[in-house]
Amino acid sequence: MSTTGTGFDIRRIGGRIGAEIHGVDLSAELDPAIVAEINSALLEHKALVFRDQGLDDAGQLRFASLFGELTAAHPTVPSVDGRPEILPVDGGEGIRANHWHTDVTFVRTPPKASTLRSIVVPPYGGNTLIANSAAAYRDLPDALRDLADRLWAVHTNDYDYAAPKTEKAAEHRRRFVSRKYRTAHPVVRVHPETGERGLFIGGFAQSIIGLSPSESRDLLRIFQAYVTRPENIVRVVWSPGDLVLFDNRITQHYAPDDYGDLPRLLHRVTVAGDAPVGVDGTPSRVVEGDEAAHYTPSAA
């Protein structure tokens, strides 16, 4: 445990990723110095857990906005009624993100950070796993690291990652791909604040530029296996009222589908990000679709 200059406690919950923040009331107006210390903790630990905050939608929006301009809820999926920046993550409707991914990497400027707030959680299961992609990059053997530094991947929302189990899930799937995006991102992204290198792949990364589909799948599986090593993962066990803030530029996450038909509802708010930049300084580019200006105010 460490205590910051502004007095709140940071308690590590994973060896390589994750910390709980104690002594901060997110419903209060936060001093800029506290926000700066939270941001520093986010850059170090990649994922921060704030227990029993009991925020409402307005409180979550207010807190997320301290870290930058907010995006709309999603490029294609509807928001919470009356709250255009809030995405409902409703497992009870069969909409379950049980695949490793980084949020919205199929557009050119994916979110900088994501906040998840628990509203309804099942009595068992329904956790969220978050992985440190910088630690994964450091784990790579030299030959694989050198190869990854030179590769680019195409990310898209138009792929069949799961068969819908309900009609509501099928409708969500149709909306998800109603507007198609394909974006080329570097396989290794340089973090714009820390300079760390991380594997920028995940479920939306479907092909490697210059390689065949089978070669792409093989290489992406190899790199992804480093991201999801147990030592690179923290498991967040939810209680109602918890909030998690994670750095979307250098993490992946996964919500195991292990709670049957029980209800699970989270609300997600994301902070606008910039275009990823590779090791050679080249930024990401659109392959198909548009700049998603309706989704994110970031045009960097």
Q: Is residue 62, in this structure, part of any structural domain at all?
A: no
Residue 178, domain extent: 72-288
SS3 call for 48: strand
CATH number of residue 198's parent domain: 3.60.130.10
Residue that is written with structure tokens 């198609």 in the block = 180
Whole-number Å distance between alpha carbons of 37 and 274: 22
Question: How high does pLDDT run on average in the chain?
Answer: 93
- Please indicate, yes or no, if residue 135 is contained in any of the structural domains: yes
Contacts of 183 (CB under 8 A, 6+ apart): 105, 106, 107, 108, 154, 155, 156, 284, 285, 286, 287, 289
Residue 295 lies in a domain: no
Confirm whether 45 is domain-assigned. Answer: no
The answer to whether 115 touches 244, Cβ cutoff 8 Å, is yes
Whether residue 284 lies inside any domain: the answer is yes
- Is residue 253 annotated as part of the catalytic site, yes or no? yes
Identified catalytic residue from 103, 139, 247, 274? 103
Distance of CA 33 to the CA centre of its chain: 25
Residue 4 domain flag: no
For the chain, the distance separating the N- and C-terminal CA atoms, rounded to the nearest angstrom, is 37
* Residue 268 designated active-site: yes
Domain count, the chain: 1
Q: Looking at residue 101, what DSSP letter applies?
A: B
Asked if 78 contacts 272 with a C-beta cutoff of 8 angstroms, the reply is no
Task: Tell me the per-residue pLDDT of 192-215, one tens digit each, with 9 for 90 and over.
Answer: 999 999 999 999 999 999 999 999
pLDDT tens digits along 141-154: 999 999 999 999 99
36 within some domain = no
23-45 pLDDT per residue, tens: 999 999 999 999 999 999 999 99
Among 189, 191, 253, 267, the active-site one is 253
Q: What type of residue is 175?
A: R
191 a catalytic residue: no
Residue 100 falls within a domain, yes or no?
Answer: yes
Q: Does the structure show a pLDDT above 90 at 296?
A: no
- Marked catalytic residue, from 16, 74, 101, 185: 101
Plot region of 104 (φ>0 → left; ψ -120 to 50 → alpha; else → beta): left
